[in-house]
C-alpha cells in the first residue's frame, strides 16, 4: 500500500512567492492629482513669500525716506519763517532809509565817503542852507583827495572843495566846503 500524504509536511519549509503590489492606475492618477496642486501651491507660496520680503524691505526703506523728508520739510518751514522775519526787517530798514531826510542823509553820505583804509577823524560837520563845511584831522594828508573824490561821487554833493589844510608834524587838519544838490533844513 502506498500512502500518500495529502497534507503538507509542516516540517518542510516552502518558499512563498513575494507579493507584488499591484498599482492601480486610478491610484497613481489620484496621487498625481494631489501632488501637482500641492507643488503648485508650494511654488506660489514661495513666490509670495519672496515678494512679501522684498516689499517689507522696500516699505522700511520708504518709511526711513519719509522720515528724512519730514525732517527736511520741518527745516524748510523753519527757514521760511526766518526768511519772512528777515524780509520784514529788511523792508522796515528800506522804508526807514527811504524816509530819511536832512541831517541823516547828509551824515550817511559823509560816513560812506570816508576811505576805509585810512586814519581820518571828522570833528565837525556844519550845514547852513546848501553850504556844508566838514572839518577833521588825518595822519596822512594823501587821504584827503580820496575823501574829496568819494564825496563828489556820492551824488549827494554838487561841489566839493578843499578850503584849508594845515600840515603840522603829527596830524594834518583839513576843512572842506561842499554844496548839496538838495535843500535840507539844518538842525
% of the chain surpassing 70 pLDDT: 84
Residue 136, all three cell numbers: 577833521
Q: How much is the pLDDT for 23?
A: 62
Q: Which of 19-23, 82-86, 130-134, 168-172 has the lowest mean pLDDT?
A: 19-23
Q: Which residues contact 20 (CB under 8 A, 6 or more apart)?
A: none
Mean pLDDT of the chain: 84
DSSP code of residue 167? -
Q: Which residues contact 158 (CB under 8 A, 6 or more apart)?
A: 130, 178, 179, 180, 181
Tell me the chain's radius of gyration from C-alpha atoms: 54
Mean pLDDT, residues 31-50 = 92
Residue 54 has pLDDT above 90, yes or no: yes
The residue that leads in pLDDT, 175 or 109, is 175
Asked if 138 and 172 touch (Cβ cutoff 8 Å), the reply is yes
Q: How much is the pLDDT for 101?
A: 67
Amino acid at each position: 500500500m502506498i500512502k500518500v500524504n495529502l497534507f503538507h509536511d509542516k516540517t518542510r519549509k516552502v518558499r512563498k512567492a513575494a507579493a507584488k503590489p499591484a498599482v492601480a492606475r486610478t491610484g497613481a492618477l489620484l496621487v498625481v492629482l494631489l501632488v501637482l496642486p500641492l507643488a503648485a501651491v508650494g511654488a506660489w507660496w514661495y513666490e509670495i513669500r519672496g515678494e512679501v520680503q522684498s516689499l517689507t524691505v522696500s516699505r522700511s526703506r520708504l518709511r526711513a525716506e519719509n522720515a528724512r523728508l519730514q525732517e527736511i520739510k520741518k527745516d524748510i518751514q523753519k527757514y521760511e519763517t526766518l526768511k519772512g522775519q528777515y524780509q520784514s526787517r529788511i523792508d522796515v530798514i528800506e522804508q526807514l532809509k527811504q524816509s530819511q531826510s536832512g541831517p541823516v542823509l547828509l551824515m550817511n553820505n559823509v560816513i560812506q565817503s570816508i576811505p576805509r583804509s585810512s586814519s581820518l577823524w571828522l570833528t565837525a560837520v556844519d550845514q547852513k542852507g546848501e553850504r556844508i563845511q566838514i572839518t577833521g584831522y588825518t595822519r596822512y594828508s594823501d587821504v584827503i583827495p580820496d575823501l574829496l573824490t568819494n564825496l563828489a561821487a556820492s551824488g549827494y554833493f554838487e561841489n566839493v572843495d578843499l578850503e584849508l589844510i594845515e600840515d603840522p608834524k603829527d596830524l594834518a587838519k583839513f576843512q572842506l566846503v561842499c554844496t548839496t544838490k538838495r535843500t535840507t533844513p539844518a538842525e
